[in-house]
Amino acid sequence: MQSVDTNNAANTITKFNKKGSKPLSRDRWLAVLFLLPSLLLIAVFVYGFIGWTGYVSFSNWNSLIPDLSFAGLDNYFYIFQTFRFQSDIRNMIFFTVFFIAVVVFLGQFLAILLDQKIKGESIFRNIFLFPMALSFVVTGVVWRWVLNPKTGVNLILDNFGWTPEWYTNTAVVPSWDIFQIQFGLPLALISVIIAAAWQMTGFSLAMYLAGLRGIPDEHREAARIDGANERQVYFKVILPQLKPITFGVIVMMLHISLKIFDLIYTMTGPGANFVTDMPAVYMFNATFQGNFYAQGAAIAIVMLLLVAIFIVPYLIRSRKGEA
């Protein structure tokens, strides 16, 4: 995207020159010039297409032949009534909560350990960071075999008399009957959470480590002089200062977990009884395999709204912070 912007910038400048423009100071004129291409591209390729998706989601386009007649909220009503979408929402909630919790706590914990000025720190840091360099597709394929109940890690665990079913487990705990589904944590999701956390913990580790390094040593020394023990130094002095980092990590992880597709698609698929299905996977199935374009668009819009609920307040907050 960015390289496209710069390429097009030159073209647009020449166009812009011919047209002429309102009298502007040279600086502002240049600023507008440089921003214009990316603004246009974003307007079309991001907001334009979001608008188009929204439009399709209100249509009757549920076959290969486009039918853009108005269907009202039919597609939304339909998806919310399906067993599959209800499962998706449940899975998304539990996946998000546990995934973020694991990533935040594990990242923080590892960062504190690494911050002890140990030997070979950079080796450890790199080891933890490497999974992040992989694509979710690779992670998915690897963990699919590691956690396959008949091969992989179970061959070791078997020696201890414990062979969990991992992602083929269809149990939901606790299983309250809500609508058509059982509400609770699908145990199969634990495998997916492990894989996702394996990949993303390095990221939060890096964030926290940078945060810890940003805290001047004087703070610790001052606390120690005041008679605080090591535990108090961490819990009362260091960790409270890491709050903005935690907030950043949560927002980053949130938008990953709400939109997750590639990891699920390669690792487990929708899973038996849809225990590992996610809205994005359903959207793909509905749109490109079932040709239910309008229903797929409706799922996409629901996902967008869910992400927006969390991201928009963050954007507003950070804007206020700047001003």
Partner 1 sequence: MKKKFSIFAALIMALSMILAACSNSGGSGNSGASGEDDNSGNTVGGDKVKLEIFSWWTAGGEADALKALLKGFEEKYPNINAVNAAVAGGAGSNAKAVLATRMQGGDPPATFQVHGGAELFTWVDAGKMATLDKLYEKNGWNGVFPQKIIDMNSKNNHVWAVPLDIHRGNVIFYNKKVFEENGVQPPKTFEEFFAAAEKLKANGVTPLALGDKNIWPATMLFENTLLAKLGPEKYAELWTGEVPFDDPAVKESADIFKKMLGYINENHASLAWQDAAQLVIDGKAAMTVMGDWAEGYFVAKGWEPKKDFGWIETPGTQQSFMVINDSFGLPKGVENPDAVKKFLSYLGTKEAQVTFNKIKGSIPARTDVDKSKFNVYSKSTIEDFQAAKENSSLALSLAHGSAASPGFLTKVNNAVNVFVTQQNVDQFISKLKQASSLLGK
Q: State which residue, 168 or 201, has the beta carbon closest to partner 1.
A: 168
Residues in CB range of 300: below 8 A, 6 or more apart: 53, 57, 283
Residues 287-306 that bind partner 1 (CB under 8 A): 288-292
Residue 262: burial class (beta carbons within 10 Å; 0-12, 13-18, 19+):
middle
- Of the candidate spans 58-66, 91-99, 119-127, 220-228, the one that interacts with partner 1 by CB under 8 A turns out to be 58-66
CB 154 within 8 A of CB 168: no
- Of the candidate spans 49-57, 96-104, 110-118, 266-274, the one that interacts with partner 1 by CB under 8 A turns out to be 266-274
Q: State which residue, 8 or 170, has the beta carbon closest to partner 1.
A: 170
Residues in CB range of 202: below 8 A, 6 or more apart: 107, 128, 129, 130, 131, 132
Q: Is 60 near partner 1 (CB under 8 A)?
A: no
Radius of gyration, alpha carbons of the chain = 25
Which residue in 285, 297, 298, 299 binds partner 1 (CB under 8 A)?
285
Give the per-residue contact string, 6-25, with partner 1 (x = CB under 8 A; - = no): --------------------
Q: Is 90 near partner 1 (CB under 8 A)?
A: no
Q: Is 150 near partner 1 (CB under 8 A)?
A: yes
Residues 110-149 that bind partner 1 (CB under 8 A): 132-133, 135-137, 144, 148-149
Residues in CB range of 79: below 8 A, 6 or more apart: 85, 282, 295, 298, 299, 302
CB 191 within 8 A of CB 166: yes
How far apart CA 208 and CA 125 sit, in angstroms, is: 12
Which residue in 43, 127, 210, 309 binds partner 1 (CB under 8 A)?
210
| Interface ranges with partner 1 (CB under 8 A) | 62-65, 82-84, 132-133, 135-137, 144, 148-150, 165-168, 170, 203, 207, 210-211, 214, 241, 244-245, 247-248, 252, 262, 268-275, 284-286, 288-292, 318, 321
